[in-house]
Structure 1
Amino acid sequence: MFGKTTPPTLVPVQQLYLLRHGQTDFNVQGIVQGSGVDSDLNARGREQAAQFWAAYQHMPFARVYTSRLKRTRQSVQQFIDAGLPHEEHAGLNEISWGTREGTRITPEEDAEYARVLDAWKAGDDHARLPGGGSPAEVAARQRPFIDLLESRSQDEIVLVCLHGRALRVLLCQLLGYPLRYMDGFEHQNLCLYKLHRTGGHYTIRNFLDVSHLAPPR
């Protein structure tokens, strides 16, 4: 006669849906926003937000987190209006690009900007533009938010809306990569990264997912 078997213990899984904000006019014009430019979504950005809502409105999110910049809140406003608990965290704000915010700069056209990006890729995560912030500083202010996430129920499904560079830094921190690898995490407006946390370990399940977005009308 066989003895009784003990059913396996189910390990709780926290699901993180990490979303970059929708399109703004500054995105279209190639103008750097950063933490000091509090821009609104444009018509396409609002359309992207509506498309994400249509695709994920039935997901049982426990809460939604945004930065304190309005383009992130506008991207998930329909979830908030539906009654989903919402928290703003300055730790999710975009990096500061200092005196270059509000200007058009690209690595090809601006030697100073290219120098800073190259320094980050070489491992100098304290490099910065004049008056701006560094990835190391962004990572430091994100850590209390990460602690908050990990202090809450391990079987929650949560939605987090933030910014391009801040998203790259957060993904490196959660997945255990040095910040010099952050540019490996590509992003587009209203793109989605989905992570699972089991215990203290994060795994990536969706990478640069834009399947919820239809082409512009």
Structure 2
Amino acid sequence: MATVLLVRHGRTAANVQGILAGRTAGVDLDDIGREQAARSAGRLADVPLAAIVSSPLDRCLQTSAAILERQSHAPQLTIDEGIVECDYGDWQGRTLKELSGEPLWKVVQSTPSAAQFPGGESMATMQARAVAAIRHRDAEVEKQHGPGAVWVAVSHGDIIKAVLADAYGMHLDLFQRITVGPASISVVHYGAGAPSVHSTNTELGDLSWLRTATPPADAPVGGGAGTVPDTGPGAPTRS
């Protein structure tokens, strides 16, 4: 299958203020968030992306635009409701400090598979629709562009954590152990068998190896030789 790069949106004022923005409209990247998005876009500038798929929320669209701007061949940008932020229902717009006093808070932290947000969706439903959306898009990208294709999904913290937990084969109740920072990049390959997770929550580092590396069909016994930056003839030069 293809390789998906899971990119969280850059920082927002709501993140700084400890507000659960959820699906609130008009939540934009702040100055730091725009810098974070530009940094990630720079890391991906040398990777010819087959597609960019984004949550419909403004902060993700702004992060997607930064990535698209640095791509020389203008890949297709698609909005996918399947990777939109969790529907936190009545929790949306409230502060995390206030929410931490709710009985449901402990459930979200310890057994999220049992968490149902009042007036919203359950975390299990969130994971199911996000994983289905990512796997469907991944299959489409491979069908159109081949098994060596690389594409980006720009989404939200809990969504990406839930997708990573599925890729790791972890129960949803363990997904709070995964950290996904603003504008971080995680790399997942859905092979013929189980998915392979190549990196999570990276904020720095060269990704040019994704231009030519096709992950093996099977896990390399002993760990394999790893990856190296693409510096051979024809490798692009960053500007």
TM superposition score category, shorter chain reference: 0.7 to 0.9
Please give the alpha-carbon distance, in whole angstroms, between the structure 2 residues aligned to 1:106 and 1:211. Answer: 30
Unaligned runs of 5+ residues in structure 1 are: 1-12, 213-217
Please give the alpha-carbon distance, in whole angstroms, between the structure 2 residues aligned to 1:57 and 1:152. Answer: 19
State whether residues 75 and 161 of structure 1, in contact with CA within 8 Å, keep that contact through their aligned partners in structure 2: yes
Give the AA of the match of 2:173: R
Give the 3-state SS of the residue equivalent to 2:96 in structure 1: coil
Please give the alpha-carbon distance, in whole angstroms, between the structure 1 residues aligned to 2:16 and 2:56. Answer: 22
Identity of aligned residues (%): 23
Unaligned runs of 5+ residues in structure 2 are: 206-239
Corresponding position: 1:184 with 2:177? yes
Give the AA of the match of 2:102: A
The residue correspondences of 1:123-162 to structure 2 (distance < 5 A) are 125-142=113-130, 143-153=132-142, 154-162=147-155
Please give the alpha-carbon distance, in whole angstroms, between the structure 2 residues aligned to 1:148 and 1:209. Answer: 22
Pair 61,150 (structure 1): closer, same or farther in 2 beyond 3 Å: same
Question: Deviation at 1:46?
Answer: 0.8
Instruction: Flag the structure with larger Rg.
Output: 1
Give the 3-state SS of the residue equivalent to 1:125 in structure 2: helix
State whether residues 25 and 58 of structure 2, in contact with CA within 8 Å, keep that contact through their aligned partners in structure 1: no
Which residue of the partner structure matches residue 54 of structure 1?
Answer: 42
Please give the alpha-carbon distance, in whole angstroms, between the structure 2 residues aligned to 1:138 and 1:129. Answer: 11
Which residue of the partner structure matches residue 228 of structure 2?
Answer: none
State whether residues 107 and 113 of structure 1, in contact with CA within 8 Å, keep that contact through their aligned partners in structure 2: no
Give the AA of the match of 1:157: V
Question: Deviation at 1:200?
Answer: 3.6
The residue correspondences of 1:96-115 to structure 2 (distance < 5 A) are 96-106=87-97, 109-115=100-106
Which residue of the partner structure matches residue 219 of structure 2?
Answer: none
State whether residues 37 and 102 of structure 1, in contact with CA within 8 Å, keep that contact through their aligned partners in structure 2: no
Question: Deviation at 1:78?
Answer: 2.9
Question: Deviation at 1:133?
Answer: 1.6
Pair 190,79 (structure 1): closer, same or farther in 2 beyond 3 Å: closer
Please give the alpha-carbon distance, in whole angstroms, between the structure 2 residues aligned to 1:36 and 1:44. Answer: 20
State whether residues 40 and 184 of structure 2, in contact with CA within 8 Å, keep that contact through their aligned partners in structure 1: no
Q: Deviations over 1:122-175 (max 9, x none)?
A: 3x6242232122111112322144223124312210111100111111112233
Give the 3-state SS of the residue equivalent to 2:196 in structure 1: strand
Give the AA of the match of 1:195: V
Please give the alpha-carbon distance, in whole angstroms, between the structure 2 residues aligned to 1:144 and 1:189. Answer: 21
RMSD between superposed Cα atoms in Å: 2.1
Please give the alpha-carbon distance, in whole angstroms, between the structure 2 residues aligned to 1:116 and 1:38. Answer: 29
Please give the alpha-carbon distance, in whole angstroms, between the structure 1 residues aligned to 2:46 and 2:37. Answer: 15
State whether residues 3 and 138 of structure 2, in contact with CA within 8 Å, keep that contact through their aligned partners in structure 1: no
Please give the alpha-carbon distance, in whole angstroms, between the structure 2 residues aligned to 1:135 and 1:94. Answer: 11
> Which residue, out of 85, 102, 106, partners 1:94?
85
Question: Deviation at 1:107?
Answer: 8.3
Corresponding position: 1:209 with 2:202? yes
Pair 54,144 (structure 1): closer, same or farther in 2 beyond 3 Å: closer
Give the 3-state SS of the residue equivalent to 2:139 in structure 1: helix
Question: Deviation at 1:179?
Answer: 0.9
- TM-score with structure 1 length normalisation? 0.82
Give the AA of the match of 2:170: Y
Please give the alpha-carbon distance, in whole angstroms, between the structure 1 residues aligned to 2:61 and 2:174. Answer: 28
Give the 3-state SS of the residue equivalent to 1:65 in structure 2: strand
